[in-house]
Amino acid sequence: MATGISKTKWAGEQAPQKYSTNASLDIALVYDGKRPESAILATAPAELQLLRDASQGEKHVPDNRLYYGENLHILAALLKDPSISGHVHLIYIDPPFATNTVFQSRAQTDAYSDLLAGAHYLEFMRERLILLRELLADDGSIYIHLDDNMAFHIKVLMDEIFGRKNFRNWITRKKCNPKNYTRKAYGNVADYILFYTKSDTYVWNRPVEAWTDERSQKEYQYVEKETGRRYKKVPVHAPGVRAGETGQPWRGMNPPPGKHWQFTPATLDEMDARGEIYWSPTGNPRRKVYLDQSSGIPIQDIWLDFRDAHNQNIKITGYPTEKNPELLRRIISTSSHPESLVLDCFSGSGTTLDVASQLGRRWVGIDNSAEAIATTLRRFAQGLAPMGDFVSSRKAALETRDDVFKPTLFPPSELAEKLLPKYRGDASISFSLYTAKPYGGELDSTLEQWRQLWQESRHEGRLR
């Protein structure tokens, strides 16, 4: 394994001039239509109309907000809201992937279009990312979910907007089961999540997986006779030469060439006195790391357990590109605290908002699709349904002579009697609903159904 050397050294000599040691970013995307950042920050804010008040006469309700309209101007409006601007702790977005496709729900209703491409798509994203940066708190994080179509371009944009030093991870997610067909290429089963922060100080609740007996015994191979504690042996040195105490001799031994002690000699003496140093027969020290001091297996940047809808045994809303709730649970749990403010400006079926509510976070959701807003409300009211039931729901809708299974809160009346008691959601989720003006009444019918359910839930005493 290579060890660290001075950045100014090259084989013991000064680095050749052609090798730059400057770590500053000197790469940027250039394309037609790239506007000055000042012009984007001056975007006209949307004029907003309140359609539903979160309180509904109640006190001390969370300030959750759902917005219907074009997100650029709504984000500009939020920049002028002192309770939001600079106070968002976590942003997750699953934006269009530049696929040149119109997506439909499982009921064959147009949900949203993804028709931007090339420079138009890049500037569309850049405008929003600049406003999102301003909305983030100094200790905030942003996760951007993309496929391989534009992820590499957006990575360069993010380096420009948030700074290359604030890039944390390129997460690879397994999105589906292996494919048994390809077109002279490897099966495409992955998409990507870019993780950036606004600064070096950010919320981080380290995510871990629980140890299994098999894995813990393989990782922690040794058992301490005196205590019965299981442990593993790790080096007490680390790469790189140091001039301080950690570079000095300990017990008459120097660190290995090109390395330094992980701890000062005094600390190593204390560890040895507690029996935490293992000495090999040849006198080589190693540190004992105990299983009972580990909270779990640290999560890496390849995620295999959060595939999207792929069989009949999971529950979904039926909205296209709907993400696995457990994916959002990991992200929200890791990069926010209870009562933190979470924002999703491409909120779709409301997965981010739903999971944020379950985890005690406040949220702001934005979407310009009436189908998306209706799906989110339906999710709050009815919860999720097994994937297979959307087939029978479609059939039942046709049998009642509806031309389309429309995005209302409730299925057709005969089906509602069967499904509502079984798949009731959480109508007590408190939120205000806003629309950008001008508003054409697209949500009036859906909202009236929500109000009816809210009154029913209140009567039943289900509200928190």
pLDDT of 428 higher than 90: no
Strand order in the sheet with 222-223: 222-223, 230-235, 285-290, 277-279
312-340: average pLDDT? 85
Residue that wins the pLDDT comparison between 126 and 382 = 126
Q: What is the CATH number of domain 37-207+299-460?
A: 3.40.50.150
CB 131 within 8 A of CB 72: yes
Residue 427 pLDDT: 56
Least confident of 290-299, 337-346, 392-401: 392-401
Residue 210 pLDDT: 92
What's the rounded Cα separation, in Å, for the pair 365 and 375? 13
Query: 359: which 2 tokens?
Result: 């985890």
pLDDT, tens digit (0-9, with 9 covering 90-100), for 187-240: 889 999 999 999 999 999 999 999 999 999 999 999 999 999 999 999 999 999
pLDDT of 407 higher than 70: no
pLDDT of 245 higher than 60: yes
pLDDT of 86 higher than 90: yes
Helix%, strand%, coil% for the chain, nearest 5: 30, 25, 50
pLDDT, tens digit (0-9, with 9 covering 90-100), for 333-389: 999 999 999 999 999 989 999 999 999 999 999 999 998 998 898 888 777 777 655
Q: What percent of the chain has pLDDT over 90?
A: 60
pLDDT of 184 higher than 60: yes
Least confident of 80-84, 203-207, 421-425: 421-425
CB 43 within 8 A of CB 129: no
155-181: average pLDDT? 92
39 pLDDT band, cuts 50/70/90, is very high
pLDDT of 171 higher than 50: yes
Residue 112 pLDDT: 45
Residue 37 pLDDT: 96
Least confident of 84-88, 150-154, 338-342, 391-395: 391-395
Residue 460 pLDDT: 63
Q: Average pLDDT, whole number, for the chain?
A: 82
- Amino acid 278 reads Y
56 pLDDT band, cuts 50/70/90, is low
Rounded to a whole number, what is the distance in angstroms from the first to the last CA of the chain? Answer: 57
Residue 196 pLDDT: 98
Q: What percent of the chain has pLDDT over 70?
A: 75
79 pLDDT band, cuts 50/70/90, is very high
**What is the helix (H) or strand (E) element at residue 325, kind and residue range?**
helix 325-335
pLDDT of 413 higher than 50: no
pLDDT of 98 higher than 80: no
User: What is the chain's alpha carbon radius of gyration, rounded to the nearest angstrom?
Assistant: 27
Per this entry, what is the length of the chain? 464
426 pLDDT band, cuts 50/70/90, is low
Residue 385 pLDDT: 73
101 pLDDT band, cuts 50/70/90, is low
Residue 150 contacts by C-beta under 8 Å, 6 or more apart in sequence?
97, 98, 121, 122, 125
CB 44 within 8 A of CB 99: no
Residue 418 pLDDT: 45
User: 71-79 vs 118-135: helix axis angle to the nearest 10?
Assistant: 20
pLDDT of 410 higher than 50: no
Partners of 146 in beta bridges: 192
Listed in order, the ranges of the chain carrying CATH 3.40.50.150 are 37-207+299-460
Place of tokens 């629980």: 210
